[in-house]
Structure 1
Amino acid sequence: MVAEVGQFALILALVTAVFQGGIPLFGAARGSQPMMRFANNAAFVQFAAITIAFICLTIGYVTSDFSILNVANNSHSLKPMLYKISGVWGNHEGSLLLWSWILALFGLAVAFFGRSLPDTLKSRVLAVQGLIGIGFLLFILFTSNPFERLDPAPLDGTGLNPLLQDPGLAFHPPFLYLGYVGLSVTFSFAIAALIEGRVDPAWARWVRPWTLAAWGFLTIGIALGSWWAYYELGWGGWWFWDPVENASFMPWLAATALLHSAIVVEKRDALKNWTILLAIIAFSLSLMGTFLVRSGVLNSVHAFATDPARGIFILIFLIVVIGGSLLLYGIRAPMMKGGGLFAPISREGALVLNNLLLSTATATILLGTLYPIFLDAVSGAKVSVGPPYFEATFLPLAIPLVIAMVFGPFLAWKRGDISGVLARLKFALLLALVLVGVIWWQKTGTTVMALVGMGIFAWLLVGTLLEWADRIRLFRIPLSNSWKRMVQLPRSAHGMTVAHIGVALVILGITASGAWQSEHLGVMKPGERVTVGGYDFRFDGAENVAGPNYDAVRGTFLASTGTEKGFYLYPEQRRYSNPPMDTTEAAIRPMLSADLYVVIGEADGKGGYAIRIYHKPFISWIWIGCFVMFAGGALSLSDRRLRLGAPGRVQKKAASAAGLSGAKG
């Protein structure tokens, strides 16, 4: 009965999405208030219907209802409750249902929080959200039905992929999807603006909070995914330029560019067409990520569901959404007037450079990700594009991008003074050079790229703090006055500072862990010792242990130095029976200065075990930096100006213009 209720709820959601995608558009064109207001009610009904469907599937997992094919294929009665729940979205059908639920959630959020939007713009945004929902609901109902019955029902299920039975993977997909689907709102705003033929500072003010939210969720989602890869896969790394990793990174880069481009539209009424195009590209890349994971065109530890038939459906959907939106852009964009002029050396110029570098970086990653697929399709040749390509193409773009991040906030709008900015940043440059010199002197054999990375870290961190201090005139006026200026400073300004500090911390973690990692790979027998990174590791042996739904070989290591008390590390080699799979569980001692990372492998039959031990300096700062970036985005999002949208006078003017446009349409 639960499956039938969920199935009916999805059909109701599809019917609602059809009406939501049509009636408000027609109403906006005719200037009909009742038809435009219908969008709000439709968004609520669609959200309620998909919520019921999602609850029904969750009940099936929690109660181990193996008469539902999806539950039987992805769950097991002995699986811990956390993974029964996360198993709802740990498979193809459930993940698409989660996607659709989040899409409906964002539609409801626009209906609720968009009260200050002009009626025509709001109805068109919600209509586009409904049209996107039609595509995903059709995909679910006709190719990926999570409520398909299984008769006769098996006594037990096959279980969830053991690699997905992890707290990091329990929360990684929801955050990533919040970012992916959040970009649908910016896409909907862009399409609505193209239909109306109007983009102005008020529009940019309305778009920025949705872009910020999507960017923040993507940041956390990517961070959780890399953290999972770091401690779960046991290979010692955190990023491999895997195609599915790239599929999440590309929308993040595009969203970052969009976030900065919208600022120019809001402040200077410039870069309108470019900002619209970025909104389309960002969401298109998120859809492409879905295609890459579910189409069957690639293999990845992340690609938990592959089916070429489903991939064809998604490919058609991609062509309709991306092709249709670009066609509309090509027709309507030339009709929109450009904004104010500005000199190349200005804050606008710095943001344009930011966009160019981010866009080029996205393009290089896209090329490296899709080239093997296209080559295989055209000639059948098998090639692999790995880290060397991405590092050789991405880093030369990322370095000037980070350097320019410090200059931009110091420059004035319209026309800036580069010599004056350099004078104010001489302390940051001096400190960066001092740090590079100390590292070169102390760390023998340090590579040039490591020195560059540490120099950029210091440059960005100190430069960002100097810009913040300059805003509040720290040490140039009485501290009480600086305090008042700090309190009065918009939260979005504080958020920018915090986010840029987060980027600096990520650079610190990436550079230090890559440049000064030390390791030991070999076979160890109980009682043997090895020194790695200044720590003495003693292997005390291994034992068999039983987990909730697995058996494991657990090693015991005592790590110590001459100046502190020792501590134990317990890596495991696990064997799951449902489904049968072996996994590696690294033992990690996270510290601010370094991580100690121990992996136990197979026995050699002579009393020894294959052992890997790593000392990774400052690697935890990668994820600390990501969460600092997210905090910066959240702080900016809490800015009252962004939450209220455009000022009242601008809103009335925009509403009047929108009403006139709707009447003409």
Structure 2
Amino acid sequence: MIVEVGHFALALCLAVAIVQAVLPLVGAARGHAGLMRLAGHAACIQAALCLVAFAALTHAYLGSDFSVVNVVENSHSAKPLLYKITGVWGNHEGSLLLWLLILTLFGAAVALFGGNLPAQLRARVLAVQSMLGVGFLAFILFTSNPFTRTFPPPLDGQGLNPLLQDPGLAFHPPFLYLGYVGFSIAFAFAVAALIEGRVDAAWARWVRPWTLAAWTFLTIGIALGSWWAYYELGWGGWWFWDPVENASFMPWLAGTALVHSAVVVEKRDALKTWTVLLAILTFSLSLLGTFIVRSGVLNSVHAFATDPARGIFILGFLVLVVGGSLTLFAIRAPALRGGGSFRPVSREGGLVLNNLLLATATATVLVGTLYPLFLDAVTGEKVTVGPPYFNAVFVPLMVPLIAAMGIGPLLAWKRGDLAGALARLRLAIAVTVAAILLAIAMADTGAAGAALGLGLAAWLAAGTLTEWAERIRLFRAPPAESWRRAGHLPRAAWGMTVAHLGMAMLIAGITVSSTWSTEAQGLLARGGSLSAGPVAYRLDDVTEQRGANFDALSAEMTATWSDGSSDRLAPEQRRYTDPPMETTEAAIRPSLVADLYAVVGRPQEPGAARFAVRVYHKPMVSWIWLGSLVMALGGAISLTDRRHRVGAPAARRRGATDIGEQATA
């Protein structure tokens, strides 16, 4: 009965979504206050109905209701409770329901916290958001129903993919979807602004917190996915430019550009057209990721579906959303004139350069991701675009971007003094030179890459701290005054400082781990050892263990450092039966200095005394994820700035001119 309640809630939600997508637009066009107020009530009802549907599916998983096809295909009675819960979104149908739930919750948040938004803009934003909901509700109900029954029900289920039975994957999809779907609000604001015909500083102020929140969630989601790949797949790496990895990285790049371009709209009333376009493209890239994962065009450990019919539906929806919004943009954008002018050497100029480089980087990733799929669809030829391509075209774009990040915040708005900014960065330049020389002296191979990476990390960190010190007049004013200035700094300024420092940590972690990581592998008997870097790994024992729903070959290893200190490691090779699959559970001893990493494999012949062992010494690799989390913390701190609270004062908006007035001016 509960399953049917969930199904009915989804059907009713579709009806409410259609009403919300149509009537508020009519009300905004005619100035009908009642129809415009309807949007907020409908958005809250949609969220409540989706919550009921999601709770019903979760109840079916917790109760192992094997009369539901989705539960049969993705759960098992012996599965641990955590993975019964995460199994709800560890599949195509359930993940779509989670996506829809987050979409409706964001819509309800706009309805509840957007009280200071102009009534017409609020109604149009919620109507556009509901149009997206109509598309996903139709997709779920007509092609991907999570509540489909089966009769007679089997005695047990087929189980969840063992690769997904992991705490990292339990939280990775929700954060990823919060990022993906969060950009739908920026998209809705952009489309609503085009319909209404006005973009101004107040509009940018309303868009920024939603964009910043989505960017923060997406940063955490990508970091969790990378961390999972590092320790779960047993290959010692953290990023492989997989098409599905790229699908999440592209909206992150575009979203980063959007966060910065919205600043220019708010501060200088410039880049209006570009910012609206970025808002459209960022969410379009999120939809593209949905198509890649669920269309069956690729095989990946991340892919959810291989049904071409579903792919056609998503492709049609993608074409409708992206094509419709870009057509509206082409018609309305020419009249959105920017009001502020600025010199190339200025804070605005630095942000424009930031946007150009990020947009170009996004395009390079897009080409490398879609080209193999396009070629396969047209000619049937299989090609692979891997790390060599992305490293060759993406990394060079990041060099000037990071260089500009160190200088840009020190430039004044409208007209900056480049010589003056560089003069204030004297210490940062000295630190950068020292880091480059240190990298060259330490690197046996790859000295150029190490010098470049560490130099950029040092430049960004030192430049960021210099800008912060300039703000509080550190060492140029009495300590009490500097302390007072620090306390009165806007939280957005603190957030920028923290986020840029996180980026510096990320670059340092990538550089050091890529340059100085060492690896060793071999067939070891009990008591045998391998050395990687300054660490000797000894295989002490190997035993068979029984887990909750798997059998494991468990090894005990001792890692001894050159100074005599040691650590214990316990890698495993697991064999699941429901569904049948073997997984590698790497043993990792993380630290800020270096990670110890060990993997054990089953012998090639049953009963053999030698085991395949692979060990790594990975210096500073943890800085990659620590830096990512620090970046996300910077975004969260910025969100607490009172200027970013949803709903800027309406008075700020009254001075805006509509599109007709701009055209005749």
TM-score (norm 1): 0.98
Which structure 2 residues correspond to residues 72-87 of structure 1 after superposition, within 5 A?
Answer: 72-87=72-87
Q: CA deviation at 1:646?
A: 2.5
Cα contact 2:72–2:158 (8 A) shared by 1: yes
Which structure 2 residues correspond to residues 129-148 of structure 1 after superposition, within 5 A?
Answer: 129-148=129-148
Task: Find out whether 1:91 has 2:81 as its counterpart.
Answer: no
Q: 1:568 aligns to what? A: 568
Please state whether the residue corresponding to 1:116 is helix, strand or coil. coil
Which structure 2 residues correspond to residues 283-294 of structure 1 after superposition, within 5 A?
Answer: 283-294=283-294
Q: 2:466 aligns to what? A: 466
> How has the CA–CA distance of structure 1 residues 475 and 648 changed in structure 2, closer, same or farther, with 3 Å as cutoff?
farther
Mapped to 2, the partners of 1:360 and 1:535 lie a distance apart of 42
Q: 2:341 aligns to what? A: 341
Task: Find out whether 1:613 has 2:615 as its counterpart.
Answer: yes
Aligned-partner residue type, residue 170 of structure 1: A
Q: CA deviation at 1:272?
A: 0.2
Q: CA deviation at 1:445?
A: 3.1
> How has the CA–CA distance of structure 1 residues 562 and 373 changed in structure 2, closer, same or farther, with 3 Å as cutoff?
closer
Please state whether the residue corresponding to 1:76 is helix, strand or coil. coil
Q: CA deviation at 1:499?
A: 0.2
Mapped to 2, the partners of 1:584 and 1:571 lie a distance apart of 8
Q: CA deviation at 1:647?
A: 3.8
Please state whether the residue corresponding to 2:157 is helix, strand or coil. coil
> How has the CA–CA distance of structure 1 residues 183 and 172 changed in structure 2, closer, same or farther, with 3 Å as cutoff?
same
Q: 2:520 aligns to what? A: 520
> How has the CA–CA distance of structure 1 residues 629 and 129 changed in structure 2, closer, same or farther, with 3 Å as cutoff?
same
Please state whether the residue corresponding to 2:397 is helix, strand or coil. helix
Q: CA deviation at 1:102?
A: 0.2
Please state whether the residue corresponding to 2:623 is helix, strand or coil. helix
Which structure 2 residues correspond to residues 587-606 of structure 1 after superposition, within 5 A?
Answer: 587-605=587-605, 606=608
Q: 1:646 aligns to what? A: 648
Aligned-partner residue type, residue 399 of structure 2: I
Q: CA deviation at 1:307?
A: 1.2
Cα contact 2:439–2:447 (8 A) shared by 1: no
Which structure 2 residues correspond to residues 393-408 of structure 1 after superposition, within 5 A?
Answer: 393-408=393-408
Please state whether the residue corresponding to 1:543 is helix, strand or coil. strand
Mapped to 2, the partners of 1:349 and 1:652 lie a distance apart of 28
How many residues align? The count is: 659
Cα contact 1:117–1:651 (8 A) shared by 2: no
Q: 2:121 aligns to what? A: 121
Q: CA deviation at 1:446?
A: 4.1
Please state whether the residue corresponding to 2:574 is helix, strand or coil. strand
Cα contact 2:115–2:647 (8 A) shared by 1: no
Gaps of 5+ in 1: none
Cα contact 2:231–2:585 (8 A) shared by 1: yes
Which structure 2 residues correspond to residues 25-104 of structure 1 after superposition, within 5 A?
Answer: 25-104=25-104
Mapped to 1, the partners of 2:372 and 2:264 lie a distance apart of 37
Which structure 2 residues correspond to residues 467-616 of structure 1 after superposition, within 5 A?
Answer: 467-563=467-563, 565-605=565-605, 606-616=608-618
Mapped to 2, the partners of 1:4 and 1:435 lie a distance apart of 63
> How has the CA–CA distance of structure 1 residues 41 and 366 changed in structure 2, closer, same or farther, with 3 Å as cutoff?
same
Q: CA deviation at 1:304?
A: 2.7
Q: 2:318 aligns to what? A: 318
Mapped to 2, the partners of 1:335 and 1:542 lie a distance apart of 71
Cα contact 1:509–1:619 (8 A) shared by 2: yes
Q: CA deviation at 1:648?
A: 5.0
Cα contact 1:493–1:636 (8 A) shared by 2: yes
Q: CA deviation at 1:336?
A: 1.5
Q: 1:453 aligns to what? A: 453
Cα contact 1:588–1:595 (8 A) shared by 2: yes
Q: 1:183 aligns to what? A: 183
Q: 2:194 aligns to what? A: 194
Please state whether the residue corresponding to 2:645 is helix, strand or coil. helix
Mapped to 1, the partners of 2:659 and 2:51 lie a distance apart of 34
Task: Find out whether 1:633 has 2:635 as its counterpart.
Answer: yes
Indicate the larger mover: 152-161 or 595-604: 595-604
Gaps of 5+ in 2: none
Q: 2:259 aligns to what? A: 259
Cα contact 1:554–1:573 (8 A) shared by 2: yes
Mapped to 2, the partners of 1:104 and 1:61 lie a distance apart of 22
Aligned-partner residue type, residue 11 of structure 2: I
Please state whether the residue corresponding to 1:254 is helix, strand or coil. helix
Identity of paired residues, percent? 63
Please state whether the residue corresponding to 1:527 is helix, strand or coil. coil
Mapped to 2, the partners of 1:21 and 1:660 lie a distance apart of 25
Mapped to 1, the partners of 2:659 and 2:16 lie a distance apart of 26
Mapped to 1, the partners of 2:594 and 2:147 lie a distance apart of 47
Aligned-partner residue type, residue 42 of structure 2: A
Cα contact 2:443–2:515 (8 A) shared by 1: no
Please state whether the residue corresponding to 1:531 is helix, strand or coil. strand
Mapped to 2, the partners of 1:573 and 1:423 lie a distance apart of 57
- For 1:215-240, what per-residue CA distance to the aligned partner results, in whole angstroms no more than 9, with x for missing partners? 00000000000000000000110000
Indicate the larger mover: 187-196 or 299-308: 299-308
Cα contact 1:232–1:585 (8 A) shared by 2: yes
Mapped to 2, the partners of 1:459 and 1:17 lie a distance apart of 50
Mapped to 2, the partners of 1:530 and 1:113 lie a distance apart of 59
Task: Find out whether 1:353 has 2:353 as its counterpart.
Answer: yes
Q: CA deviation at 1:399?
A: 1.1
Mapped to 2, the partners of 1:111 and 1:99 lie a distance apart of 19
Q: 2:112 aligns to what? A: 112
Q: 2:241 aligns to what? A: 241
Please state whether the residue corresponding to 1:115 is helix, strand or coil. coil
Mapped to 2, the partners of 1:246 and 1:409 lie a distance apart of 29
Cα contact 2:439–2:450 (8 A) shared by 1: no
Cα contact 1:495–1:635 (8 A) shared by 2: yes
Cα contact 1:75–1:87 (8 A) shared by 2: yes
Q: CA deviation at 1:438?
A: 2.1
Q: CA deviation at 1:644?
A: 5.0
Q: CA deviation at 1:588?
A: 0.2
Aligned-partner residue type, residue 252 of structure 1: W
Cα contact 1:258–1:275 (8 A) shared by 2: yes
Cα contact 2:440–2:450 (8 A) shared by 1: no
Mapped to 2, the partners of 1:92 and 1:504 lie a distance apart of 36
Mapped to 1, the partners of 2:62 and 2:102 lie a distance apart of 21
Q: CA deviation at 1:250?
A: 0.0
Please state whether the residue corresponding to 1:613 is helix, strand or coil. strand
Aligned-partner residue type, residue 480 of structure 2: S
Q: 2:277 aligns to what? A: 277
> How has the CA–CA distance of structure 1 residues 642 and 660 changed in structure 2, closer, same or farther, with 3 Å as cutoff?
farther
Q: 1:411 aligns to what? A: 411
Mapped to 1, the partners of 2:83 and 2:646 lie a distance apart of 39
Mapped to 2, the partners of 1:558 and 1:87 lie a distance apart of 35
Q: 1:623 aligns with which of 615, 622, 625?
A: 625
Mapped to 2, the partners of 1:568 and 1:395 lie a distance apart of 37
Mapped to 1, the partners of 2:292 and 2:529 lie a distance apart of 45
Q: CA deviation at 1:483?
A: 1.0
- For 1:477-520, what per-residue CA distance to the aligned partner results, in whole angstroms no more than 9, with x for missing partners? 11111111111110000000000000000001100000000111
Please state whether the residue corresponding to 2:115 is helix, strand or coil. helix
> How has the CA–CA distance of structure 1 residues 659 and 315 changed in structure 2, closer, same or farther, with 3 Å as cutoff?
closer
Q: CA deviation at 1:595?
A: 0.3
Mapped to 2, the partners of 1:530 and 1:550 lie a distance apart of 28
Cα contact 2:519–2:616 (8 A) shared by 1: yes
Q: CA deviation at 1:564?
A: 5.3
Q: Please, what is the CA RMSD of the aligned residues?
A: 1.3
TM-score (norm 2): 0.98
Please state whether the residue corresponding to 1:539 is helix, strand or coil. strand
Cα contact 2:118–2:650 (8 A) shared by 1: no
- For 1:162-217, what per-residue CA distance to the aligned partner results, in whole angstroms no more than 9, with x for missing partners? 00000000000000000000000000000000001100000000000000000000
Q: CA deviation at 1:563?
A: 3.4
Mapped to 2, the partners of 1:302 and 1:644 lie a distance apart of 34
Mapped to 1, the partners of 2:659 and 2:38 lie a distance apart of 17
Which structure 2 residues correspond to residues 297-446 of structure 1 after superposition, within 5 A?
Answer: 297-446=297-446
Mapped to 2, the partners of 1:73 and 1:390 lie a distance apart of 36
